[in-house]
Chain A
Amino acid sequence: MTKKIYTKKEWMKTLAGLKSSYNIFVPVSDGDFHIFKAMDDKENPDFNFKNTRLSPKSVIYPQSERLFEFTLDENAPDANIIKQAEKDYFPQAIVGIRPCDAHAFQIVRPNFDNPEYQDPWWIQRYESTTFVGLGCNNPDSTCFCTSVGGGPFSEKGLDALLYDLGDTFLVKALTDKGEKFLKLAQGGKKPDKTALKASEELAASASDKIKNKVSTDKLKHKVQTELFEAPFWDEVAFACINCGTCTYLCPTCWCFDMQDEVFKKQGDRIRNWDSCMFPLFTLHGSGHNPRARKVQRVRQRFMHKLKYYVDKYDNGVQCSGCGRCIKNCPVNIDIRKVCELMNS
């Protein structure tokens, strides 16, 4: 596997040079936070961040996406016939994605790509994307990736991994996609032994900086219906205001809605992110609602992530430990505590 080392200044130039081969998404500073944006002449990458406020989920799975188009003009021969919208799957690269967020795409993948059904938009955008991760030298206080199958330098779901060695970035290719990316990347030198050793030490010491430990070992063996009726749900949900922030920020939340939008005689069928926190999500036409009460919706969110997903795929929990929902919850609901309750 190819390894290259760049000075940080040189790396910025190299990224700019890759723009003809990829649409490149990078972390940029945006007010008090960082956020992933398409790199252009105005946006300068800034790799000095703990994690971005939003994960780059939308690069693969846009918050709002046009799926189909149609005309309602009765004079048109194809009036009322729903047709696929043209899509551009030009290669793209997410550079600087944290390992937890890359792992999240692996967690989400079986929902959109399984033997029975394949979501053409998610899959094609996923497959046209090269994931270039940035290891976490200083994980955040809410990080718990090491409890859920990840780690600050985990290579899961990544095509290449960046090590921040102070004045330089060491880049390691991990897959064929990553090799191709590094081949196209201009400049860089072969790292010497000192740099290689530094990168290994960095990765080894970072895991120990994550102090949060969350137990998930017993979740698989719990009886679903018993956990569903557990006595703690009222207390867990008590403070929740159903704002949906947790689902919106979560890199592993994938629920969506489909809506038709019409302007004059032309229309689109659009997919939007949706949230299990909203009562409308499950409201029947008849007025019946299986999750009409707040406690039912809060339970759904945690049961989905920590039990239903576990039972369905037998591949760990539906959480990559990024900590965004903990950090941003206005009433301090903490998935680590809920997980402990469910696991105990």
Chain B
Amino acid sequence: MERLLKNPYLPYPVRIDKIITETEDRNLKTFRFVFLDSEDEKKFSYIPGQFAELSIAGKGESPIGIASSPTEKGHVTFTVNKVGLVTTHLHNMKEGDVMGIRGPLGNWYPWQEMEGKNVVIIGGGFAFTTLRSSIVYMLHPDNRARFKDISVVYGARNPGMLLYKDELAEWEQRDDINMHITVDGTDDPDWKYNTGFVPTITEQKITSADDAIAIVCGPPIMIKFTQPVLEKVGFSPERIILSLEMRMKCGIGMCGRCNIGHKFVCKDGPVFSLAQLRNMPPEY
């Protein structure tokens, strides 16, 4: 049966090409993967906002947002928090090890709607991964002209917990993106960016919702307090875009655990607008 040739549960074999420890607590590492078969890289064609199942033989699978941008060829990257069985094992693996990637899965940020508009990106903690993918994608010379102003508010507990520090510094230098990096607190006298929680900095820096769409990714508490700030500035619920997390297994809407109402976070999400979420049961 021809339609069954592609098994959606079968991971592509990949090799760990590079491992970067991102945060000072060493709990977040970025893994750069190269496909063993270069044909698989073409099949793994993704859009910023999507995720994949990282698949380790003998351990299982874990759904993780894709941190690289489709404009970065030759590899795909994921930043992984050490939490459970699979991610703890992954943190102990080394460059050159072979494992699997299954995807891309889920929907993506509304790129078509965002085209020609101002884009506001708000991220907190380690949920910055698909936002990094989106920023790299938008800043690519082929894409930058498709968007108006790009503003980013990104916060972490302290300077050592920020992801992608080199890139953040580089983006700070550019004049085609407005960076607002913040930390909850720091005793570093040389800290040159903002201090304060993400909702507070958002209130100070994001003063207009004109022709803009906001993408918000972060811990539930940050999302909870950022929403009213954005709505006060004038973002309608349709233009506040969120990406959700859920426990998953299949990633293709079959195993039944990641539903919110009749929507599956794995297949109908992970990206939902606030307007959509308000019409769904509050069970996430």
Query: Known contacts A118-B4, A224-B281: does B257 contact A282 (CB below 8 Å)?
Result: yes
Query: Known contacts A225-B279, A296-B283: does B252 contact A116 (CB below 8 Å)?
Result: yes
Are A256 and B255 in contact, CB atoms less than 8 angstroms apart?
A: yes
Tell me the bound Cα distance from A266 to B3 in angstroms: 30
Within 8 A of B (CB), among A59-85: 67-68, 70, 72, 79-82, 84
* A72: chain B residues within 8 A (beta carbon): 57-58
CB distance from A44 to the nearest CB of B (A): 35
Are B254 and A119 in contact, CB atoms less than 8 angstroms apart?
A: yes
* A84: chain B residues within 8 A (beta carbon): 7, 10
Within 8 A of B (CB), among A245-260: 254-260
* A308: chain B residues within 8 A (beta carbon): 259, 261-262
Which residue of chain A has its CB nearest to the CB of B105? A117
Which residue of chain B has its CB nearest to the CB of A229? B281
Whether A262 sits at the interface, judged by CB under 8 Å, is yes
Within 8 A of B (CB), among A237-293: 254-260, 262, 267, 269, 274, 276, 281-286, 288, 290-291
A-B contact count (CB 8 A): 135
Are A70 and B261 in contact, CB atoms less than 8 angstroms apart?
A: no
Whether A329 sits at the interface, judged by CB under 8 Å, is no
Tell me the bound Cα distance from A276 to B259 in angstroms: 11
Whether A124 sits at the interface, judged by CB under 8 Å, is yes
How many residues belonging to B are interface residues under a CB distance threshold of 8 Å? 48
Whether B8 sits at the interface, judged by CB under 8 Å, is yes
Main SS at interface, chain A: mixed
CB distance from A119 to the nearest CB of B (A): 6
Are B61 and A258 in contact, CB atoms less than 8 angstroms apart?
A: yes
Whether B98 sits at the interface, judged by CB under 8 Å, is yes
Whether B253 sits at the interface, judged by CB under 8 Å, is yes
Tell me the bound Cα distance from A284 to B220 in angstroms: 13
Are B98 and A260 in contact, CB atoms less than 8 angstroms apart?
A: no
CB distance from A52 to the nearest CB of B (A): 24
Which of B181-189, B210-218, B243-251 lies at the binding interface? B243-251
Are B254 and A311 in contact, CB atoms less than 8 angstroms apart?
A: no
CB distance from B283 to the nearest CB of A (A): 5
Interface residues on A, range: 35 or more
Residues in A lying within 8 Å of B, measured CB to CB: 67-68, 70, 72, 79-82, 84, 111-112, 114, 116-120, 123-124, 127, 224-225, 228, 254-260, 262, 267, 269, 274, 276, 281-286, 288, 290-291, 296, 300, 303-304, 307-309, 311-312
30 A–B contacts from the bound complex (CB under 8 Å)? A70-B57, A82-B11, A111-B253, A112-B254, A117-B8, A120-B4, A123-B1, A124-B4, A225-B280, A225-B281, A228-B261, A228-B281, A255-B255, A256-B256, A258-B60, A260-B60, A262-B58, A267-B57, A269-B57, A274-B256, A274-B257, A276-B257, A282-B247, A284-B245, A285-B84, A288-B220, A296-B283, A303-B261, A303-B281, A308-B261
Besides A285-B83, A285-B247, 10 new A-B residue pairs in contact (Cβ under 8 A), listed by A number? A84-B10, A112-B254, A118-B4, A228-B281, A255-B257, A256-B255, A257-B255, A276-B256, A282-B247, A303-B261
